Structure 1
């Protein structure tokens, strides 16, 4: 899988240092064994291929094509003028990086075509310099890079497939919630309309009041539908009252230690989809704490409310470990983000300054006070 953006620049700097060392080592070995006049060509070819490898993020296809072209010309030239075997170690290292990048990022057919072209360059090196170990090592490096790139590609594809399944499951569940919410309000509208017919016959002066009630119920169902339409999920909303949240926190205390719940909101006034979302955010966040932050000394659950939204923040102070970012940003949070974005809210998750992890979600209530 691809490295995070913040790691790309340091990774390329480190790779550039490795490339420079490979070119220098190759030049030193050729000068020592072939003579001082034989190293510049191989060093230039290797440096050129390595430069294209450092530019691979801009255009993986054309940088790989350029690297292979330089390597092929180097093989031909070395054969014609009796220079050391090409592609040399530096060029082989650059080609391996290009191969891995192409296999990981390019469309399947394009990546396969470049893989075949690279093997053709390696085969040309073997034919041009039979008995030399240099092209053999270059071929092994090329094959290893293809294997690593393909493995990364498969892992990334699996990750995307799982994420799609999670999002689909989230949409299906909210479809059920949409059905339940709309059915409740529409049933109320039908009953009020039936009552209005009876009232109109006996007390026509009360018709306006009955119509006002129907209009209010229609406005409620419209607002509720707008908050959840377009999402497809499979399950009824879970009420998130004081008692339910207290039960949830108490259930996790046996796994993660003491949890402080601060509830500065009134859950009884929330729409059903907001209640269910708040409950699920807290549950998913505490589940992640139980799985990945068992050494946390303190866990806090803060739920606040303003005129337009409910804000949920779950934070712990567990010591940071290198793999924690990848583990904690799991598929459960992917589903939560899908739900919150559909409701017009947001979700952020990541390490806190110093130590610990925080999940913060905002859930619009659809109200204007």
Structure 2
């Protein structure tokens, strides 16, 4: 079988001793958090509940401060809630709260994912006010007394975005990749639509976090190696738990002689361990995340996390009949299809045109 496999032990080999100690310290703090969860979920005493809620708030504040200090020492990890002005934090916090909430349904979840990636795009590309400007001349629906046009200025970031390729680690990453591509198209003065490269990768869910394997299936992937060389490769995966899928794909490309100009990883939520693994394993990679969570559980899921983002965006597959990428696109429906029609055309051409 034409498959590439990376093991969790390989990923941990990239971590420094300081990284490992920071991760262990965070695990110890989260064990205290779990004790608070147990008390809150069982107590019948209003006084005890109020006391434990204050303890939980203090623990989360301590974990947040420690993660912020850790990220200060790693300039390639960019966390929205650590870097933006204080007045921007409530928006991000409320958005993440909605994504986490078990009551947030599919369509609402997609809405908040779209908002999250708009915020991540601004974090990465800064959209500086002092930058030179591009001008958009837009024809409006108003025709009296004559046809009206409007002139709008946008920052000139063409040099940052018009060398990009969207690299999709399938399923949960499909719609976020389309959203990022759409943002690039809207801020390009030439209406640049990113090419797409599609990678079929999964982790072995029968394993635990410490012995996990990441499996890249080349037979079900669609890309051309030569089209990735000297490009800015963008990966948009809503959750970065372990970093294993990204490292597997990029290490494979490097082994095949691909030399990207840069690699950028966009996550709505990243675990501390996953972010550290990525930047330690890949020299030319930056991580942009809206929110950082402290730990992983033994099954390699982010805590407190938000569940399986792919299932919440796309709905669950039947185990005996997993959908391929064309079926996923069809299930998005007409609203998504109309909004991202340029991106869908690129993806369909990549798959049906036989690019590999």
Give the TM-score, by structure 1 length: 0.25
Query: Greater helix share, 1 or 2?
Result: 1
Structure number with larger C-alpha Rg: 1
Query: Greater strand share, 1 or 2?
Result: 2
Structure ranking higher on relative contact order (CA contacts 8 Å, 6+ apart)? 2
